[in-house]
Structure 1
Amino acid sequence: MRVASQQLYTSSVYSMQQTTQAITDTMLQMSYGKSILAPSDDPIGAVKVMGLESDTNQANQYLDNISTLSDYYGRAESTLLSMNDTLLRATEIVTAAGSSTTTAEGRQAYAEELRSIQSSLVDFANSQDDNGNYLFAGNATTTEPVTIDSNGDYVYAGNSDTREVPISESSSLEVNYPGDELFFSGTNDIFNELNDYIEVLEDPTLSPGDPQFDAAQAEMTAVLDETRGSINSAMTSMGSKQNTLTMMETHHKDMVLYNSKVIGETEDLDYAEAMTDYTQNLTVLQATQSTYVKIANLSLFNEM
């Protein structure tokens, strides 16, 4: 009889411990709103959730990259558009200045306006983002790309490198356009060519029809066309890349939303079911405790 009582006593204690642990686990689940608090709760579900969370983190990183690229392309495209408009005005001035009907005073006025345009173009080329990084310096983003050397000539101080930024597992896009490709392409550049042309306009001994004037006129026109062509090509490329970013952004956002839904379905707690389990386990615990008290009293009686 004592052996049977001891077995019942041990069984009751073990049952109470197990039931108490189950109640504690349920209360924790209800506190966090999750059915999986440790891999042991649901090994398959836990692995599934970890995989989805990893995919979500990667997608969010791509979204951050897309935001950075979109901001860069937007700023760069807006700046280049302003440059293109300024170059169109410069083209109008050069055409008018090359007219045989334009007086020396008129050419001087055009020269002054071209000086202002030149200054604006340099400012555009040296544009920066909110963090002070230069947009058109290649990867030398802390270096002012267009400067004046000791001879008074405009030079490119950036580099020709670009940086690849991943926007998905299998694709990436370039950021940091090198200014040498945009403004210093060919044998001449827009900044120094404007200097040379302005000097011709300011020379009262030169006028349309003179070989030196006509050569400068032709060269200035060609460099303006070439620079506008480089800028328009870059803007077209940026517009295409912006479209790609928009599509990839939609894809990643859809993935994050879907993953969130599946994670919720896998680990979110069913409160009604949890409350039922809690109530049932509490009832079992109370019954086991009652049995335990009876067994303990019986064992005490047998000892007397």
Structure 2
Amino acid sequence: MRISTQSFYDQSLSAMNSQQGSLLHVQQQIGAMKKILTPSDDPLGATRALSASQSISLNEQYATSRAQATRSLGLEDNALQSVTTLLQNIKGQIVSAGSGSMTDADRSSIATALQSTYDQLLGLANTDDGNGQFLFAGFKSGSAPFVDRAGGAQYVGDQGQKLLQVDVSRQMAGGDDGRSIFQSAQGGAGYVTTSSPANSGDGVYGSTSVTDASNPDFGKNFSIAFTSATTFTVTNSDTPPKVTTGTYASGTPIQFGGLQISLTGAPATGDSFNVNTAKNANPDMFGALKDLIGALKTPVDNATPAAKAQLLNSLSTANVKLSNTLDNVLTVRSSVGSRMQELDALNATGDARNLSDKSYLSNIQDLDYTSAITELYQRQMALQATQQTFVQIRKISLLNYL
């Protein structure tokens, strides 16, 4: 068979180009430390690698969201811990203010201390994250959620919750709004009793307890009005209202609507007391504290028995309202702690998933250096052999035999 010179050169060039291409491919694999440089190298492997890379990327995004949520919830928990301590201190001061040995000056000193506590609580309610974003403002996080007013702090934020995608199928609130913390009460919070400012008698109420939660009137609001020094009516919040009558004796509990309230002293005709559920009794921490400060600043040493009764009733109301606020804050703190615990569990799961994905991706695309280097030398030797063969065959000519 005859082989033309041109055909010989073309075949030799093609062989050397093929060997050089194979050598270059191995060199690129070693340089990139990957065995799949383009999808054409391994279409199925490239598809699997892309899927694993996307999973790793999503895991990293979830981890970033979890870190953000952990930081925000940590700041909230620190603020609420300080609020808890201050509320517990306030309750202790209320007990001290109710002591019979206290004078107007003593109560005024307590009021001054409580005003300082009020300012601290307002500062904690307006806590930010260090970047100008307020923790308890809901979606309006760019401005302080509470503004001080004459009757207490006004909430100017909203009740939105910023949800963070912390895992594939889990969204989590990274905080809580101020109204639900500082101006709300739990559904199971006790009743709050208040006396009318117009009362002229010296009736003093004690605690309100539940005697029959199955009573059809339980959960409604009530008003106790004295029609004389020894008779009263109880009106519920029905429409039209239901009215019952009773006979009063100091120290004898008054029962109605599944509740029982102790009342002592001598209420005057026309005196009234409201017994409302916690949520209908203005469950505002700042308002309750302002009312308490105002009551403690009112002199009663030389006042009438009615004024002294008003002070004791104000202390009792403040104690119940702030106790309800404390319970609410502790409930929110419990929720924050649960979320932080869940984030820890999700971090552990995410780390395990990330490690598994990276291991899977490594098995797909990472280069086996021993095999790659061996192949590199093989390709080099093959190219050299092809080149030398070309040189030797090129020298063959019939002229050498003449």
TM-score range, shorter chain: over 0.9
> Who is 2:390 aligned against?
292
> Who is 2:357 aligned against?
259
> Who is 2:251 aligned against?
none
> Who is 2:20 aligned against?
20
- Structure number with higher relative contact order (C-alpha < 8 Å, ≥ 6 residues apart): 1
Aligned with residue 372 of structure 2, among 268, 274, 282: 274
The one-letter code of the counterpart of 2:385 is A
Q: 1:146 touches 1:157 (CA, 8 Å); kept in 2?
A: yes
Q: Aligned pair 1:158/2:157, yes or no?
A: yes
Provide, for residues 222-258 of structure 1, a one-character-per-residue CA deviation record: whole Å limited to 9, x for no partner: 2111110110010000111111101100011111112
Shift of 1:6: 4.2
Q: Which runs of 5+ in 2 are unaligned?
A: 185-278
> Who is 2:166 aligned against?
167
State the superposition RMSD in angstroms. Answer: 2.1
Shift of 1:175: 1.9
The one-letter code of the counterpart of 2:33 is G
Aligned with residue 194 of structure 1, among 274, 289, 292: 289
> Who is 1:63 aligned against?
63
Shift of 1:296: 3.5
CA distance in 1 between partners of 2:358 and 2:167 (Å): 19
CA distance in 2 between partners of 1:242 and 1:225 (Å): 26
SS in 1 for 2:3: helix
Provide, for residues 63-94 of structure 1, a one-character-per-residue CA deviation record: whole Å limited to 9, x for no partner: 11111111111110111011001100000001
CA distance in 1 between partners of 2:288 and 2:397 (Å): 109
Matches for 1:99-110 after TM superposition, within 5 Å = 99-110=99-110
Q: 1:188 touches 1:223 (CA, 8 Å); kept in 2?
A: yes
SS in 1 for 2:172: strand
1:11 and 1:103, CA in 2 relative to 1: closer, same or farther beyond 3 A?
same
1:105 and 1:142, CA in 2 relative to 1: closer, same or farther beyond 3 A?
same
CA distance in 2 between partners of 1:244 and 1:90 (Å): 33
1:117 and 1:3, CA in 2 relative to 1: closer, same or farther beyond 3 A?
same
TM value normalised by structure 1: 0.93
Provide, for residues 94-122 of structure 1, a one-character-per-residue CA deviation record: whole Å limited to 9, x for no partner: 11101222122211111111011111100
Q: Which runs of 5+ in 1 are unaligned?
A: none
Shift of 1:205: 2.9
Q: 1:126 touches 1:136 (CA, 8 Å); kept in 2?
A: yes
Q: 1:138 touches 1:160 (CA, 8 Å); kept in 2?
A: yes
> Who is 2:262 aligned against?
none
CA distance in 2 between partners of 1:99 and 1:153 (Å): 26
Q: 1:147 touches 1:156 (CA, 8 Å); kept in 2?
A: yes
The one-letter code of the counterpart of 2:313 is A
- Flag the structure with higher helix content: 1
> Who is 1:181 aligned against?
180
Matches for 1:221-236 after TM superposition, within 5 Å = 221-236=319-334
Q: Aligned pair 1:215/2:313, yes or no?
A: yes
SS in 2 for 1:167: strand
Shift of 1:176: 2.8
In the alignment of these two chains, the number of paired residues is 302
Shift of 1:144: 0.3
The one-letter code of the counterpart of 1:98 is G
Q: 2:73 touches 2:175 (CA, 8 Å); kept in 1?
A: no
CA distance in 2 between partners of 1:228 and 1:56 (Å): 43
The one-letter code of the counterpart of 1:166 is Q
Q: 1:134 touches 1:143 (CA, 8 Å); kept in 2?
A: yes
CA distance in 2 between partners of 1:15 and 1:145 (Å): 77
Query: Larger Cα Rg: Structure 1 or Structure 2?
Result: 2
1:299 and 1:176, CA in 2 relative to 1: closer, same or farther beyond 3 A?
farther
Shift of 1:59: 0.6
Shift of 1:164: 1.4
Provide, for residues 206-225 of structure 1, a one-character-per-residue CA deviation record: whole Å limited to 9, x for no partner: 78972321231122112111
Q: 1:5 touches 1:299 (CA, 8 Å); kept in 2?
A: no
Sequence identity (%): 28
Provide, for residues 135-171 of structure 1, a one-character-per-residue CA deviation record: whole Å limited to 9, x for no partner: 111121111011124x564200110110211111111
Provide, for residues 183-222 of structure 1, a one-character-per-residue CA deviation record: whole Å limited to 9, x for no partner: 1124141112211211111111378972321231122112
SS in 2 for 1:130: coil
Q: 1:9 touches 1:295 (CA, 8 Å); kept in 2?
A: no
Shift of 1:39: 1.1
TM value normalised by structure 2: 0.71
Q: 2:288 touches 2:322 (CA, 8 Å); kept in 1?
A: no
